[in-house]
Amino acid sequence: MDISFASSERVSRRSAIIGRHLSQYPAYSLLPIDLSPCISYSPPEGSVKAAFDSQKLRQILDGHDVESRDWLFRLMEGSSLFCPQRRGGNRVFVLPDYDQSMDQQREMTMRRIQFLLEHGVFDGWLTGSGHEVELRRFALNECIGLYDHSLAIKLGVHFFLWGGAIQFFGTKRHHDKWLRDTENYLIKGCFAMTELGHGSNVRGIETVSTYDSNTQEFLINTPCESAQKYWIGGAAKHGTHTIIFSQLHINGSSQGVHAFIGQIRDPNGNIMPNVRIADCGHKIGLNGVDNGRIWFDNLRVPRENLLNSVADVLPDGQYVSSIKNPDQRFAAFMAPLTSGRVNIAVSSVYISKMAVAIAVRYGLTRRAFSVAPNDVEVLLLDYPSHQRRILPLIAKACAMSIAGNYLKKIFVNRSSDTSKMIHIYSSALKATHTWQNMKTLQECREACGGQGLKTENRVGLLKGEFDVQSTFEGDNNVLMQQVSKALLSEYISAQKKKKPLEGLGLEHMNSPYPVIPANLTSSAVRSIEFQNNIFFLRERDLLSRYANEVYEYQGQGESKESAVLLSYQLAEELARAFTERTILQLFAEVENSAAGPLKGVLGLLRSMYALICIEEDASFLRYGYLSLGNADAVRKEVMKLCGEMRPHALALVDSFGIPDSFLSPIAFDWIEANSWTCSNTRKVQHAFM
């Protein structure tokens, strides 16, 4: 039988069967489909008119150097080194290229530093003097951090840590030799404090330095693996010198932690003899910073390289210090390091502002679902639940800005008499601001939906970049425990001396206990009198409870140190109460100095900040500061405040002063930004290189 003939027969037979089957059904004509019009982008500016002057609010929130900030923003916008990309019509955004390898990101960080150096950004950062110079340095570093955290951290290590250590720990001989070359980046400085085995506990570091009177040199050694210097920014690739923190031993006696200047690379980039360096590797963020690990093997450092503002070693090996008490000497030695915490506290606020600005703008243009069939879909920010998620974050960002400005002010006006106060405030605000920043980034990421996952839209990426702020320059939990211990010390001292409390805003504890009305009205909940009183009540009661619990543990035979550790829960609650009360009072002072429509908006923000703090802290109900009925009144008032803040949302985020190019495509025409045409025409050429 012919196989090909049989196969053809089978195909014909099957075709006939399928044809008869299909002929049983009548043919239907295709009816036209009624398509809904495509979604289009509508700028929120066209439908909202600001009820207050957003530029005046920006002056309050930025606090200082507004023109310098804008100058630096324009400078970065104008250079191809800052990777400008055209997205959404003619709109250009600047954003680091995170598709680059770790080595490429590190190299770009250094190229950007060189560009900023050549354009005078760092002029006077270390060689200048006066409050204005310090405030300008803070302002410009905040702006740089908005572009890229790696760039800001690299500069922070070099100027604030390495340079700051020479300024504060060193004397004239160090200033003359090192500061100008540091400012001009002829030297690339690191700050080797953290070790594998010790982070927050600086006093316990294991690196050892001994003095050789024959050569008038210090020998610095890493005696064990846990003593290796760890996470040292700049050490893996670019650093030439570092501040080395070590335990100083003189004639077999330990004098505690001291700081030295050591060279780790020669001018050609070769690692110095008796120094070993390894790369910390890839991280969840900050891959533009070359973090490294360092070991010292009898590294010889000239006697003159001991930073000697607190203590010195004479040529014959005699140890001298004007501060005889080792604890006081250590405290004096650590006091200048608060600049790092100040820097972190204020920079985290700017990142929160960026995230909220992006989320608000997206929520004012993105629609989802309709209330009734055939109705227009509702804007995200018109949903009460979305308002409740996002609008309180605006109030917190504004409150933190005001607190950050106060922190900078007291820091630049520092003296030996205010060092303790600055330590307390910088610890409290660094912890509170960085924790809130991470909460803000997470909420805004979710509020932007899937678009929040895209790197170019920034919010999701920034979570990985800024997570580190919770633990560097002091673990947040440890810092807040230090705040509570300081408050406990003030409380015990006042009781022993039978004197009223004074300083740190604790004077309210000298007055009778505030009384909270049994049934709060809407106007009462919004009054600064109620808000102050409820915050005062919480703080003073928690301080009393904390002290009593410590006393109780001591009565059971625990040492004071152990009793404090066992009372950690009350310590955490007290530190939070102290910080939030401080921020509220600072906010109220700014509000009192304002006038007109701006004063009204500040009042809304202040009330939102206070009531959200009440809602978020279980201690108000746990210890009975609020009745269940009053807690419900607070909750309802927050909902009302959200509705009243909604018309001001765009003007409020505009007052943050962040240029459009530093936000992201979803903050503007997110439809055009994702169009086929736009996806293939991104890179922009600029005159500056």
**Residue 107 token pair:** 């190299």
Active-site residue among 183, 195, 443, 473?
473
Looking at the DSSP bridge assignments, the partners of residue 79 are 688
**Residue 549 token pair:** 């619990």
- 122 vs 114: CA distance, rounded Å: 10
CA angle 662, 664, 669 (to 5 degrees): 125
Whether 638 and 615 have beta carbons less than 8 Å apart is answered as yes
- Name 84's Cβ contacts closer than 8 Å, sequence gap at least 6: 77, 92, 93, 94, 661, 683, 684, 686
Parallel, antiparallel, or unpaired: how do β-strands 275-279 and 292-296 relate?
Answer: antiparallel
For the chain, the C-alpha Rg in angstroms (whole number) is 30
**Residue 285, annotated ligand binder?**
no
- 75 vs 82: CA distance, rounded Å: 10
**Residue 554 φ then ψ, to 5°:** -65, -35
**Distances in whole angstroms, Cα of residue 346 to Cα of each of 68, 131, 432, 504:** 17, 17, 11, 20
C-alpha closest to that of 58 among 632, 617, 564, 598: 598
Parallel, antiparallel, or unpaired: how do β-strands 292-296 and 229-232 relate?
Answer: antiparallel
Whether 295 and 222 have beta carbons less than 8 Å apart is answered as yes
**Residue 434, annotated ligand binder?**
no
C-alpha closest to that of 241 among 265, 258, 257: 265
CA angle 617, 623, 625 (to 5 degrees): 75
Task: Note if 118 is an active site residue.
Answer: no
- 345 vs 347: CA distance, rounded Å: 6
Residue 372's region, left for phi above 0, alpha for psi from -120 to 50, else beta, is beta
**Distances in whole angstroms, Cα of residue 124 to Cα of each of 130, 152, 154, 406, 409:** 10, 17, 18, 23, 19
Active centre residues (catalytic)? 473
- Residues at the binding site for FAD are 194, 233
